[in-house]
A and B are shown apart, each in its own frame.
Chain A
Amino acid sequence: MDKKKSARRSLNASLPAKVFFVILVGVFTKLFFSCTPPPPGDMYYNSIGIAGVDNSDRFLKRNTSVDTLYSGAVALNLTLKDSTFDYYAFNLNNALKSVSFTPAMALSFPSSFIPVNEVEEIKVTTLFDIDAEVRAGDDITPLILYGTGRNFELYKNIGNAISDFNKTQSATSVSIFLVLKRPIDNTMAQFYVQVFLDNDNVLSTNTNIFTIIKQ
């Protein structure tokens, strides 16, 4: 009997103390969830974009979009993205905020996304003659190399581009650079790019018609 009374007495705190205690529990709960980085989200490649980029200078001008290219410096910026992802990410973030603080870190925590439908093949076709040997309609994928856009590295074969598209990504859209090894012996160029996904979808697009400056 005495034990029950003493237990009640110990719980008999004042109202502000109880409110403070509840707030404290809430804060620590939110803090606990905030400590965990968000899990990788799923992404579905459903959009393709392609643009010409200037690679004639010392460094690739990765943020430019040009319609005139040097014959030996034909480079394309190929972008695959999940166009629905922005809306999803926005809502995921709001949902997280309701149960936790936005993670506070010295650097913003990079989100990660796993492509659900993987790229199986990239195919580039020229729509104009490149020279006497490579004619309009030819598959020029073997003449294409892949670059990440970093200046202190060499190009890679197109197979590396496929594996880079399929790895966990840090953004909703993924850009790579495709460069043509062979100089174009023509005044115009245009390319048709197809990306084959493992769900049998094919993302395809034409480039602009490029004016070619011969060296």
Chain B
Amino acid sequence: MLTCFSSLAQKLDIRNSEFSFSIGTVEYNIEKFPNSIDMDFLNYSNAYPGYFDYAVVNFGHKFDFLSKMSADINLIVMSNLVPDNYDVSVYYHFNKVVALGLGSRLNKFNISYFEQFHLQGFPDYYLVDGNQRQFRVYDLGFYLTPMFKLIRHERFQTTVKFDIGMSSFSEEEAVFYLKRKLSNERMAYHYYTTFSFQPYVNPKLELRLRIFNINDTVVGLLLKSNFFYRYRSKNYNRSIQQWTCENEVYEFIRTPKHKCGRLEANAGLYVKW
């Protein structure tokens, strides 16, 4: 296996490898609207976050390959300590300053306490299952990104990227059983969120400051930041059943678009050889 990988690396001419480790913080800013007659899941995004929900750990690996190509692989760990977020891209370098990349990213966030919609919106009904509800929503995106190496000093480098892409939330499903107070009436609300790609932008800034080097190995300080922004809705199919399963009303619900921002800032170290 190692031999295979080694021979593949030789064929690809992998060079200028860099490993990085950084710790940072992430802040979500998702616009909230007043409750309407239909559930809007994004109104419950990142409700009551815990302290560590803002923490983010980033493991990065960059390398150049072939003659004008480079790759940037980032594995992102959040508060649940599972490396289930990523940002992977490959670049074609036109010259030493400008490159064009193609990539994919996966970020997750939580939609929590959305049972409150039924508790507040249906005061004449009991929510049969009173437990707190939560979706762990994955946001899968694909992007095109120009990259500019603005400062290429021996001790200090600055890179700017501007991702433009399309992303979609993962599909989720939720069921709520309602029982009318002092009545036999029962209802069931089934929600099935849909997969739909919507555009986004994500400018990124990376600063590298060399601290020291041992022979050809460079150790330095890495500062990274990115701001993810878009207008986003989480549409769904909904079925309402009243009294029995036979009485089903099925609808596609289009929810309003929310301004969604996600600011991330990291600081750490890189090792390059």
Which residues of A are interface residues toward B (Cβ below 8 A)?
55-59, 70, 72-75, 145, 151-157, 179-181, 183, 215
Kindly state the separation between the CA atoms of A70 and B181 in the bound complex, as whole angstroms. 10
Which residue from chain B places its CB closest to the CB of A58 in the assembled complex? B126
Given contacts A75-B184, A154-B188, is CB(A58)–CB(B179) below 8 Å? yes
Asked if residues A154 and B245 are in contact (CB atoms below 8 Å), the reply is: yes
Query: Are B241 and A154 closer than 8 Å at their CB atoms?
Result: yes
Selected from B126, B129, B183, B243, the residue in CB contact (under 8 A) with A154 is: B243
> Is B66's CB within 8 Å of the partner chain A?
no
The answer to whether A56 touches B245, judged by C-beta atoms less than 8 angstroms apart, is no
- Among residues 123 to 165 in chain B, which have CB atoms less than 8 Å away from a CB atom of chain A? 126, 128-129
A55 touches B184 (CB 8 A): yes
Interchain CB contact under 8 A, B128 and A154? no
Q: Chain B contacts of A57 at CB under 8 A?
A: 126
Choose from A74, A75, A181, A183 the contact partner of B243 (Cβ within 8 Å).
A181
Q: Within the complex, what minimum Cβ distance (angstroms) separates A195 from chain B?
A: 21
Cβ of A134 to closest chain B Cβ, rounded Å:
16
Residues of A near B241 (CB, < 8 A) are 154
- Chain A residues near B181: list those with CB within 8 A: 56
* A interface SS class: loop
Knowing A145-B244, A157-B246, A181-B243, say if A152 contacts B182 (CB, 8 Å): no
Q: Within 8 Å CB of B180, what residues of A?
A: 72
Query: How large, as a class, is the contact surface on chain B?
Result: 10 to 19
A134 to B224, CA, bound (A): 74
Known: A151-B177, A152-B129, A152-B177. A56 touches B244 (CB 8 A): no
Those of B178-225 within 8 Å (CB) of chain A = 179-188
Given the contacts A151-B177, A154-B188, A154-B245, A72 and B128 also touching, CB distance less than 8 Å: no
Q: Mark B32-71, 1 if CB is under 8 A from A, else 0.
A: 0000000000000000000000000000000000000000
13 further A-B pairs in the complex, CB-CB below 8 A; given A72-B180, A157-B246? A55-B184, A56-B182, A72-B182, A72-B185, A73-B183, A73-B184, A75-B184, A152-B177, A154-B186, A154-B243, A156-B245, A179-B184, A181-B184
Cα(A58)–Cα(B130), bound, Å: 10
A58 touches B128 (CB 8 A): yes
- A-B contacts, 22 of them at CB < 8 A, read A56-B182, A57-B126, A58-B128, A59-B128, A70-B183, A72-B180, A72-B182, A72-B183, A74-B184, A145-B184, A145-B243, A152-B129, A153-B177, A154-B177, A154-B186, A154-B188, A154-B243, A154-B244, A157-B244, A179-B184, A181-B184, A215-B183
- Is A155 within 8 A of B129, CB to CB? no
Distance of A154 Cα from B243 Cα, bound (Å)? 6
Q: Which partner residue on chain A sits nearest B130 by CB separation?
A: A58
Q: In the bound complex, what is the Cα–Cα distance between A179 and B179 (angstroms)?
A: 13
How many angstroms between the C-alpha atoms of A174 and B254 in the bound complex? 46
Q: A177's closest neighbor in chain B, by CB?
A: B184
Separation of A155 and B243 alpha carbons in the complex (Å): 6
- The residue on B at minimum CB distance from A72 is B183
Shortest Cβ distance from B186 into A: residue:
A154
Q: Verify B184–A156 contact, CB threshold 8 A.
A: no
Q: A145-B244, A157-B246 are in contact. Are A152 and B128 (CB under 8 A)?
A: yes
Tell me the minimal C-beta distance from B244 to chain A in angstroms: 5
Chain B neighbourhood of A70, CB < 8 A: 182-183
- Contact between A73 and B182 (Cβ–Cβ < 8 Å)? yes
List A contacts of B177 (CB < 8 A): 151-154
| Minimum distance in angstroms from A101 CB to a CB of chain B | 43
